[in-house]
Chain A
Amino acid sequence: MRHPLLEVRSLTTHFFTEDGIVRAVEDVSFEIYPGEILCLVGESGCGKSVTGLSILKLIPIPPGQIVRGEILFNGRDLLKLSEKEMEGVRGNEISMIFQEPMTSLNPVFTIGDQIMEAIQLHQKLNKRDARKKAIEMLDRVKIPSPEKRIDSYPHQLSGGMRQRAMIAMALSCQPKLLIADEPTTALDVTIQAEVLRLLREIQREMEMSVMLITHDLGVVSEVGDRVAVMYAGRIVEYGPIEDIFHEMRHPYTRGLLESIPQLEVKKTRLNAIPGQVPNPLNLPEGCKFHPRCPLRIEDCRREEPPLFEVKEGHYSRCLRWKECR
């Protein structure tokens, strides 16, 4: 029996704002196993990024607060660690990369300086060895002539190269888990394909786990092993990638997939999901998706459904999951 590397249990993160409580993440539970890529997918405001930030305790407090839950990393509850202890986890055991590499790279230092800083902070290496290691990392993410590029400033690199440099930095301490928040969203489609392939290759070589946060089911289909679909702060469907794409059992997952134009068939109309994403300050009663759902019945209005087990490892938060296919 495999043991999960990361186990998130009943994570609940709220933001206490002037306008009211934003329940960004509500009772979210999932596991990430060693060497797998778990995708967290959903539209803007569904709580996927807040989930990622909560794991590293990077939520701004106030207004944010992790209200409940456990985040077990190798059996250790990160929520119980002191800030000092967390610093030993961040960038070392768990790394994170973000959508826009330009905002997370410091423009006044070379990428080499920045990668070396990360290495020297967590590993006892002198400057020369750290530089050697940094060149090795740049080579690993397939940046051409790394011994020259190491002295480039971020603005001298293209978007794709910058994201590679970010990945090199994030991986320089051989983390066991990489949290990648929309890593390819700012990139062109050809560059996206390359960065995704790189991520997948390195993840296999280093036997690292990845939590990939994205709004794009296309990205999920390219790299994911398992998928958690989020809507209005909840996981609504959770399971192996083949099930999510071919045997989905939640009407929201189905709606998301059918909203994307198919290349193979020419259809005149798309099956759009009607209505709007609900206001997080004013979520509907019962199932959060019911106002937009084609399968809704009276019961959906009354009570929030639990996660039903469709089969081992595949769950759906829909009362009518049996009819949703």
Chain B
Amino acid sequence: MGSEILVQVQDLKKYFFKERLFSTEKEPIRAVDGISFSIRKGETLGLVGESGCGKTTAGKAILRLIEPTSGQVFFKGKDLMSLRGEELRKLRPFMQFIFQDPYESLNPRMRVGEIVGEGLEIHGVARGKEKRERVEEVLEQVGLHPQDAFRYPHEFSGGQRQRIGIARAIALRPELIVADEPVSALDVSIQAQILNLLMDLRDRLGLTYLFISHDLRIVKHISDRIAVMYLGKIVEMASSEVLFRQPLHPYTQLLLQAIPRLDPAKREEKIFFKETFLSLEKERGCLFAPRCPHFKERCAREAPFLVDHGDEHWVACHFV
């Protein structure tokens, strides 16, 4: 892993405005609310959080698959947000997305060869025989057979379909891959196969991953560093080893405690926190305060910033 920074995200925001028939509500849903981080070349950054925390929206906004509300993303030093049309298209091959659902993300009317090779043609990388050869090569890299190019997605199981999705993503020789819950829809025994494949490809092709998942075990396994998201904000970020050894934010601590231990002897050790109906005053206070076991008066008044506590261990909490 080099020290060269491949992706830099600065104060990225994505707000959704609820549209009604005759009015637009003023108060937006802050799906992603000012996140900043960078990913070095060859590194895997895990983005973890519970449903609705904004991790998928963040992943899509970074690649401009959806338009961010504000903020900047630098990819290989270029500001993605300022690029238009053709300029952005030229960068697309270098940054690819792997989707969660291998059933919905593959066009059922296209043969596997067309799905995997489509990007090569669109970006003018390869045509005809050259394209076919590249498709065969990529299919073999993901553990499929070259002959599979002539089959349709429905002929494959979930795990194999996810291999097709991965083949499509790597066909253009990308540098960055945003993988959004790539194994969540798969059975446990197949999850391990796909995780192994993703790690092999990373090492062999020198890929950089933004790995989005709700599953802490999986994120820990694959990531060099982990960012924990809660309600649109990053609350803690550190190397995966440090985050698991010494979680500092109360939310991270509770999240880690909630992971089933896989050891029946270690059951009754958990501390619990409350599910809540409280809502905070908007734009004020720490978003985690209503569920926080260490809640103090200051938390309701003032939102904490993400602060470096040494060794790139970033935490957003007043009382760390």
Residues of A bordering B, CB below 8 Å: 43-44, 144, 158, 160-161, 188-194, 197, 215-219, 221-222, 224, 241-242, 245, 255-263, 266-274, 276-277, 292
Residue from the list B220, B272, B277 in contact with A144, Cβ < 8 A: B277
Chain A CB within 8 A of B65 CB: no
Instruction: Please tell me if the beta carbons of B262 and A272 are within 8 angstroms of each other in the complex.
Output: no
Point out the residues of chain A lying under 8 angstroms from B51, CB to CB.
188
Instruction: Please tell me if the beta carbons of A43 and B188 are within 8 angstroms of each other in the complex.
Output: yes
Point out the residues of chain B lying under 8 angstroms from A263, CB to CB.
217, 220, 244, 259
Instruction: Please tell me if the beta carbons of B216 and A259 are within 8 angstroms of each other in the complex.
Output: no
Find the residue from B217, B244, B257, B275 having the highest chain A CB count within 10 A. B275
Q: In whole angstroms, how far apart are the Cα atoms of A70 and B84 in the complex? A: 68
- The number of residue pairs between A and B whose CB atoms lie closer than 8 Å in the complex comes to 115
* Given A256-B189, A261-B218, also A189-B255 (CB < 8 A): yes
Residues of B bordering A, CB below 8 Å: 50-51, 157, 159-160, 187-193, 195-196, 199, 214, 216-218, 220-221, 241, 244, 254-255, 257-265, 267, 270, 272-273, 275, 277
Instruction: Please tell me if the beta carbons of A221 and B192 are within 8 angstroms of each other in the complex.
Output: no
Instruction: Please tell me if the beta carbons of B220 and A189 are within 8 angstroms of each other in the complex.
Output: no
Find the residue from A192, A255, A269 having the highest chain B CB count within 10 A. A269
* Given A261-B218, A270-B195, A270-B196, also A43-B277 (CB < 8 A): no
Tell me the nearest residue of chain A to B291, going by C-beta. Answer: A190
Tell me the nearest residue of chain A to B267, going by C-beta. Answer: A222
Instruction: Please tell me if the beta carbons of A189 and B189 are within 8 angstroms of each other in the complex.
Output: no
Point out the residues of chain A lying under 8 angstroms from B261, CB to CB.
218, 221-222
* Given A43-B189, A277-B189, also A257-B199 (CB < 8 A): no
Tell me the nearest residue of chain A to B271, going by C-beta. Answer: A193
Point out the residues of chain A lying under 8 angstroms from B189, CB to CB.
43, 255-256, 259, 272-273, 277, 292
Q: In whole angstroms, how far apart are the Cα atoms of A261 and B257 in the complex? A: 16
Point out the residues of chain A lying under 8 angstroms from B275, CB to CB.
158, 160-161, 191, 194
Residue from the list A193, A216, A266, A268 in contact with B272, Cβ < 8 A: A193
Find the residue from B51, B257, B260 having the highest chain A CB count within 10 A. B260
* Given A193-B270, A215-B188, A259-B189, also A269-B264 (CB < 8 A): no
Find the residue from B160, B188, B261 having the highest chain A CB count within 10 A. B188
Residue from the list B50, B159, B244, B272 in contact with A188, Cβ < 8 A: B50
Q: In whole angstroms, how far apart are the Cα atoms of A43 and B159 in the complex? A: 13
Q: In whole angstroms, how far apart are the Cα atoms of A189 and B218 in the complex? A: 13
Point out the residues of chain B lying under 8 angstroms from A257, CB to CB.
262
Point out the residues of chain A lying under 8 angstroms from B241, CB to CB.
266
Point out the residues of chain A lying under 8 angstroms from B254, CB to CB.
190
Instruction: Please tell me if the beta carbons of B259 and A189 are within 8 angstroms of each other in the complex.
Output: yes
Instruction: Please tell me if the beta carbons of A218 and B262 are within 8 angstroms of each other in the complex.
Output: yes
Q: In whole angstroms, how far apart are the Cα atoms of A267 and B221 in the complex? A: 7
Chain B nearest CB: distance from A209 CB in Å?
18
Q: In whole angstroms, how far apart are the Cα atoms of A241 and B187 in the complex? A: 22
Tell me the nearest residue of chain B to A241, going by C-beta. Answer: B264
Residue from the list A189, A217, A242, A270 in contact with B221, Cβ < 8 A: A270
Q: In whole angstroms, how far apart are the Cα atoms of A102 and B267 in the complex? A: 29
Instruction: Please tell me if the beta carbons of B259 and A222 are within 8 angstroms of each other in the complex.
Output: no
Q: In whole angstroms, how far apart are the Cα atoms of A193 and B259 in the complex? A: 8
Instruction: Please tell me if the beta carbons of B262 and A221 are within 8 angstroms of each other in the complex.
Output: yes
8 interchain pairs (CB within 8 A)? A43-B187, A193-B260, A219-B260, A221-B262, A245-B262, A259-B191, A263-B244, A272-B192
Tell me the nearest residue of chain A to B260, going by C-beta. Answer: A218
Point out the residues of chain A lying under 8 angstroms from B263, CB to CB.
221, 245
Point out the residues of chain B lying under 8 angstroms from A197, CB to CB.
270, 272
Chain B nearest CB: distance from A257 CB in Å?
7
Chain B nearest CB: distance from A290 CB in Å?
15
Chain B nearest CB: distance from A102 CB in Å?
14
Tell me the nearest residue of chain A to B221, going by C-beta. Answer: A261
Point out the residues of chain B lying under 8 angstroms from A276, CB to CB.
157, 159-160, 190
Chain B nearest CB: distance from A168 CB in Å?
15
Tell me the nearest residue of chain B to A240, going by C-beta. Answer: B264
Q: In whole angstroms, how far apart are the Cα atoms of A216 and B257 in the complex? A: 17
Point out the residues of chain B lying under 8 angstroms from A274, CB to CB.
193
Point out the residues of chain B lying under 8 angstroms from A258, CB to CB.
192
Q: In whole angstroms, how far apart are the Cα atoms of A193 and B253 in the complex? A: 14
Q: In whole angstroms, how far apart are the Cα atoms of A19 and B188 in the complex? A: 27
Point out the residues of chain B lying under 8 angstroms from A262, CB to CB.
217, 262
* Given A221-B264, A241-B264, A276-B157, also A259-B192 (CB < 8 A): yes
Instruction: Please tell me if the beta carbons of B262 and A224 are within 8 angstroms of each other in the complex.
Output: no
